[in-house]
């Protein structure tokens, strides 16, 4: 693993809380490479790129996803950075497949929050071994838009409706979802139910796809909040398309319930002798 140290205590925290911090998850060289790739992307986004800022006077809140499909530098990050290996350890999976990659950038003064949500209802998959690895490319705290998580919310068994992130130009059709709206998180949970992390560049926060999370805007006058995300899944994930999910760059030619994989959701790590790629 490239800098990441995963021990039993960290695995326990991930499984109990639905999120864990991995200090030094990627090396300074990888941080520099990711920053360079991201700056190029912000100049020329993919077709999935979006601008999320909508308040008058706000600054830039930029996002893009599925970059690895068309941008070689992001493919290199996904396949070679070592992120998949420690994600596999936390999930307890013998294999790790790439679901998609994503970036979100809140510039200083970008006031838009990331609304409370959890990821799984947005996605065309079902199963337990699926997570997001969020790599900090800047110092991150709640002040400049660091994520907050509801501890243990992945264990509730509840799923809630996806929520727009602020830009109504997204052509997702979340109103078609079968899930009920998320309750008011700030009042539904007590102070002890929330977790947040102060991250340094190269640190990671890894959260389960069922973990409720959100973030404030970037109230800092100087510090950017650049985050690179790798969304990955393990052994027990199946294709589960239904109305009300987020748009995707590509849909697999699979029947519902089939294991995910193939060209567009490739295996990027496996334990010795455990690969599913040849099946």
Return the structure tokens found at 142: 């709640």
Return the structure tokens found at 79: 């396949």
Q: Measured between alpha carbons, how far is residue 128 from residues 131, 152, 264 in Å?
A: 9, 14, 20
Give start and end residues of each alpha helix (H) in 179-278.
185-188
Residue 19 and residue 12: Cα distance in Å, rounded?
Answer: 10
What is the tens place of the pLDDT at every residue in 177-224? 899 999 999 999 999 999 999 999 999 999 999 999 999 999 999 999
Reported confidence tier of residue 274, pLDDT bands at 50, 70, 90: low
238 contacts 254 by C-beta, under 8 angstroms: no
Reported confidence tier of residue 57, pLDDT bands at 50, 70, 90: confident
Reported confidence tier of residue 247, pLDDT bands at 50, 70, 90: confident
What is the tens place of the pLDDT at every residue in 4-42? 789 999 999 999 999 999 999 999 999 999 999 999 999
170 contacts 244 by C-beta, under 8 angstroms: no
- pTM summary value: 0.94
Partnered with residue 61 across adjacent β-strands are 106
Q: Half-sphere exposure (CA, 13 Å, Cβ side) for 204?
A: 33
CA angle 213, 94, 78 (to 5 degrees): 60
Domain residue spans in the chain? Answer: 8-246
Name the superfamily (CATH) of residues 8-246.
q2cbj1_9rhob like domain (2.60.120.620)
For residue 278, what pLDDT is reported? 44
Q: Hunting for tokens 């493919």 — which residue is that?
A: 75
169, burial (CB in 10 Å: exposed 0-12, middle 13-18, buried 19+) = exposed
264 contacts 250 by C-beta, under 8 angstroms: yes
205 contacts 19 by C-beta, under 8 angstroms: yes
């Amino acid at each position: 693993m490239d800098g990441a140290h995963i021990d039993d205590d960290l695995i326990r925290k991930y499984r109990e809380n639905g999120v864990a911090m991995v200090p030094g998850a990627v090396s300074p060289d990888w941080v520099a490479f990711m920053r360079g790739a991201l700056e190029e992307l912000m100049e020329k986004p993919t077709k999935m790129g979006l601008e999320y800022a909508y308040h008058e006077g706000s600054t830039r809140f930029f996002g893009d996803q599925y970059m690895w499909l068309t941008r070689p530098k992001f493919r290199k990050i996904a396949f070679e950075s070592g992120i998949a290996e420690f994600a596999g350890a936390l999930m307890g999976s013998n294999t790790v497949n790439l679901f998609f990659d994503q970036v979100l950038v809140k510039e200083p003064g970008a006031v838009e929050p990331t609304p409370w949500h959890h990821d799984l209802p947005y996605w065309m998959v079902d199963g337990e071994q699926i997570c997001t690895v969020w790599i900090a490319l800047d110092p991150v705290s709640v002040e400049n838009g660091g994520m907050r998580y509801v501890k243990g919310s992945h264990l509730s068994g509840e799923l809630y409706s996806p929520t727009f992130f602020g830009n109504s130009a997204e052509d997702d059709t979340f109103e078609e979802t079968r899930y009920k709206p998320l309750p008011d998180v700030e009042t539904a949970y007590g102070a002890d139910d929330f977790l947040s992390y102060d991250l340094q560049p190269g640190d990671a926060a890894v959260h389960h796809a069922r973990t409720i999370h959100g973030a404030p805007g970037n109230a800092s006058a100087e510090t950017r909040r650049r985050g690179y995300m790798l969304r990955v899944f393990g052994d027990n994930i199946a294709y589960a398309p239904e109305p009300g999910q987020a748009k995707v760059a590509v849909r697999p030619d699979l029947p519902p319930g089939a294991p995910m994989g193939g060209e567009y959701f490739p295996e990027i790590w496996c334990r010795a002798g455990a690969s599913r790629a040849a099946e």
